[in-house]
């Protein structure tokens, strides 16, 4: 199979629909008429964390990133699609706020991130202790939905910050984007990891195989990033990633070594063990503290961002561990003929 590095690939293929709402959004992207778009009542009937709504949101959000092959770039600001996106976002955000209504205050939330449970059962623990090569490949394929645009959603917040918080966010982003060297960009390192595992590293290649839990964990970054009023929530999301990343990356690097995944797979996680240990300090000391110095009223929103991120990450991890423990695949039914051969080659 021929693969193309994501830094040089054109836009990905448009994913297949998963229900009436995503079907209508997909139709508009393919040139359908304005009357085909869903309304408020139809979207209100969608499960907020379900396949149809989350894919529809992904289709809308991707217009602000790489777009899709054959979809005109002018549709990024199509009024009808923006209206549908607002309804989808309201449904998603309302569910998150309801499910995170009993969240702790910010100090407690940050303290909890710094302490791992004695008997943790997350996906990185599973892959470290008993993960098989096919499960590592599935994890890498699913995570590629967000990791191949690593750090991109967080840059939306930079114009919305000031002073110390802004400078710290840009400093971390400089690391994420390879310190000026394209071959060291974290998204590129992740593509190398995928290629090392025998996967296609093309941007967006595995979206059709990613379930709602994967899409929701990715979509929440765009939800928070694209709205200035949610800048506090995006900082909370960023805090979760940077504070919890280093221990998880250490376990995943060890899992790659245990299974003989190869140097490219190990390198991505080794890089994050070191880099995110530093980033964690900068996030707490400069990004969060700097933002609260300027806007102390955003503390509850930062806490909400932490709680929502943990909720969606737990849903993602729990599903993977549950199906893998039964010996089943975490992937949706493949739509590309080569995918099963690639993922399950030994």
The arithmetic mean of pLDDT across residues 63-74, rounded, is: 95
Residue 115: its pLDDT value, please? 82
Helix axes 51-62, 212-225, angle to 10 degrees: 40
65: its two tokens: 């990133």
Q: Sort 334 into a burial class: Cβ within 10 Å, 0-12 / 13-18 / 19+.
A: middle
Q: How far is CA 130 from CA 102, 125, 127, 165, in A?
A: 34, 8, 6, 40
Q: Is the dihedral of CA 241, 247, 249, 255 positive or negative?
A: negative
Q: Is the model's pLDDT at 217 over the cut of 80?
A: yes
Would you place residue 33 in the very low, low, confident or very high pLDDT band (cuts 50, 70, 90)? Answer: low
Is 62 a residue whose pLDDT tops 60?
Answer: yes
Structure confidence by residue, pLDDT tens digits, 319-336: 999 999 999 999 997 534
Contact between 189 and 151 (Cβ < 8 Å): no
| pLDDT tens, position by position, 223-258 | 999 999 999 999 999 999 999 888 899 999 999 999
Cα–Cα distances in angstroms (integers) from residue 57 to residues 86, 144, 202, 219, 334, in the given order: 9, 17, 21, 7, 21
Among candidates 73, 123, 117, 77, which has minimal Cα distance to 226?
Answer: 77
Dist. CA 294–CA 297, nearest whole Å: 9
Distances 331 to 77, 100, 204, 214, 319 between C-alpha atoms, Å: 32, 27, 15, 10, 11
Which tokens belong to 338? 């080569």
For residue 5, pLDDT over 80 is answered with no
Residue 198 · residue 342 · CB < 8 Å: yes
CATH class of 106-343: mainly alpha
* Contact present, 301 and 230 (Cβ < 8 Å): yes
**Cα(328)–Cα(183) distance, rounded to whole angstroms?**
35
Domain assignments of the chain as residue spans, ordered by start:
20-99, 106-343
* 276's tokens: 């995110």
Whole-number pLDDT of residue 117: 67
Residues 230-239: pLDDT tens digits? 999 999 999 9
If we measure between CA atoms, which residue out of 186, 179, 182, 294 comes closest to residue 235? 294
């Amino acid at each position: 199979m021929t693969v193309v590095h994501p830094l040089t690939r054109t836009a990905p293929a448009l994913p297949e629909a998963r229900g009436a709402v995503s079907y209508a959004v997909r139709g508009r992207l393919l040139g359908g008429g304005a009357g085909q778009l869903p309304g408020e009542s139809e979207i209100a009937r969608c499960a907020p964390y379900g396949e149809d709504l989350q894919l529809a949101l992904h289709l809308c959000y991707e217009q602000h990133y790489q777009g899709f092959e054959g979809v005109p770039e002018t549709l990024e600001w199509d009024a009808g699609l923006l209206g549908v996106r607002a309804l989808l976002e309201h449904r998603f955000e309302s569910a998150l706020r309801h499910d995170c209504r009993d969240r702790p205050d910010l100090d407690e939330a940050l303290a909890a991130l710094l302490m791992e449970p004695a008997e943790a059962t997350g996906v990185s623990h599973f892959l470290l202790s008993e993960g098989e090569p096919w499960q590592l490949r599935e994890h890498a394929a699913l995570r590629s939905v967000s990791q191949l645009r690593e750090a991109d959603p967080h840059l939306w917040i930079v114009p919305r910050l000031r002073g110390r918080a802004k400078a710290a966010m840009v400093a971390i982003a400089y690391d994420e984007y390879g310190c000026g060297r394209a071959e060291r960009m974290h998204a590129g390192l992740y593509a190398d990891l995928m290629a090392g595992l025998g996967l296609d590293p093309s941007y967006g290649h595995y979206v059709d195989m990613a379930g709602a839990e994967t899409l929701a964990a990715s979509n929440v970054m765009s939800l928070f990033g694209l709205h200035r009023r949610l800048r506090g929530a995006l900082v909370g999301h960023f805090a979760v990633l940077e504070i919890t990343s280093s221990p998880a990356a250490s376990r995943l690097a060890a899992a790659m070594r245990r299974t003989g995944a190869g140097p490219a797979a190990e390198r991505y996680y080794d890089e994050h063990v070191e880099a995110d240990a530093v980033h964690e300090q900068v996030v707490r000391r400069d990004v969060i503290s700097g933002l609260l110095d300027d806007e102390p009223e955003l503390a509850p929103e930062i806490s909400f961002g932490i709680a929502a991120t943990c909720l969606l990450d737990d849903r993602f991890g729990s599903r993977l561990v549950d199906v893998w423990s039964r010996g089943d695949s975490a992937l949706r039914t493949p739509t590309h003929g080569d995918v099963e051969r690639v993922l399950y080659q030994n």
